[in-house]
Structure formats: C-alpha cells, structure tokens
Amino acid sequence: MEIYYWAAPLLLVGSWAASFLGSYLKQKGENLATREDLDDLVKQTAALTETTKRIEAEISEATWGRQKRSEMKIDALVQALSALSQLEDALLDLDSASSIDSSFERSRSASEWSVASSRFDTAVVMARIVCKDVGPAILQAGQQIRETANKTVRGETTAFRQSLQNRMDEQHKVLNAVREELGFE
C-alpha cells in the first residue's frame, strides 16, 4: 500500500512537470518559429534592398544616357544651324564679289565659300547621325544655297535675289524640323 501513497504525489508532480514541460516546449517552439520567420524576413529584406539598388542603378544609367544623347543632339543642331548660316553668309559674299571687278575679291570670296561649304558638310554629317528628321531639311536648304552659288559664280547676277524666297522657305523648314526634333512643336 505504500506504493499508493507515493503514487499520488508522484502523479501530481509528474502532471505538473508534464504541464510545465509542455508549456515550456510550446513557448520554445513559438520562439524558434518566430526566429525562423525573422531570418526569412531579413533575407527577403536584403534581397529587396539589392534589387532596389540594381533598379536604381539601371534607371540612373538610362537617365544619364538620355541626357547625354540630348546634349549631343543639341550640340549637333547648333553646329548645323551655325554652318548653314555661315554658308548663307558666304553666298552673300559671293554675290557681292561678283558685282565687283576685282579678281582678288572674287578669289577671297571663293575661298570663304569653300571653307563655309566644308564646315557645313561636316556639321550636316554629325546632325544626321544624332538627329533623325532634321538631316533632309538641312541638306535641302544647303542644296538651295549651293545652286544659287553655282549660278552666281557662272555670272547670273540676279540668282541671289531670285532665290531669296526659296532659300528662306527652306531655312524655315529647317527651323521647324529642329523644333520638332527638340520637342518644341
């Protein structure tokens, strides 16, 4: 019978220990699950941060590329418009020299024409590389000026004045093409 006296307290202590151990293990399991969740969250946050940095770098690179292309386009257009203006000035000089009876003036104006024409060709090549729609308009304006220059050199004294409206129309087309290229509709 003595065993029964010890069985009840042992059963009570065992129940209490089992209850305590169950609660303890349950709490430990919850803590372990929370730690694993936190580790997963840290890994996901690190992956998200890395992805965000990569996307920011790609956006920054793309923005820089667009900005650089825009700067190149503006530079090329400014050079082309400047060269077109110099070509028109050289034509005016050719016309003025053709009415003067001086071989020196004619030679000087022909030399200036040659330089302006060469600058124009170089500027047009660059403009056509970086600007899709401006090239044809600039080429046409330059062609109109060159045709007038050829007539002037051949001695057609009225060619400059007669072609003035056509040259202005072509230059207006160039300016419209430049505005469109730059987004200033």
Highest mean pLDDT among 24-28, 39-43, 152-156: 152-156
Is residue 120 within 8 Å of 87, Cβ to Cβ?
A: yes
d(CA 10, CA 151): 125
What confidence tier does 4 reach under pLDDT thresholds 50, 70, 90? low
What confidence tier does 35 reach under pLDDT thresholds 50, 70, 90? confident
When pLDDT is averaged across residues 127-142 and rounded to a whole number, the result is: 88
When pLDDT is averaged across residues 150-158 and rounded to a whole number, the result is: 89
**pLDDT > 90 fraction of the chain, expressed in percent and rounded:** 37
Arithmetic mean of pLDDT over the chain:
85
Is residue 145 within 8 Å of 88, Cβ to Cβ?
A: yes
Domains and CATH numbers, the chain: 67-182 (1.20.120)
Q: Which of 18 and 106 is assigned the larger pLDDT?
A: 106
**pLDDT of 9:** 65
| pLDDT tens digits, 58-117 | 777 777 888 888 898 999 999 999 999 999 999 999 998 888 877 888 889 989 999 999
**pLDDT of 6:** 66
* pLDDT higher than threshold 80 for residue 168: yes
On whether the pTM is more than 0.95, the answer is no
Q: Where are the alpha helices (DSSP H) in 99-158?
A: 103-130, 134-153
Residue where the block lists tokens 């996901």? 44
Other beta carbons within 10 angstroms of residue 40's beta carbon come to 10
Calculate the CA 19 to chain-centre distance: 71
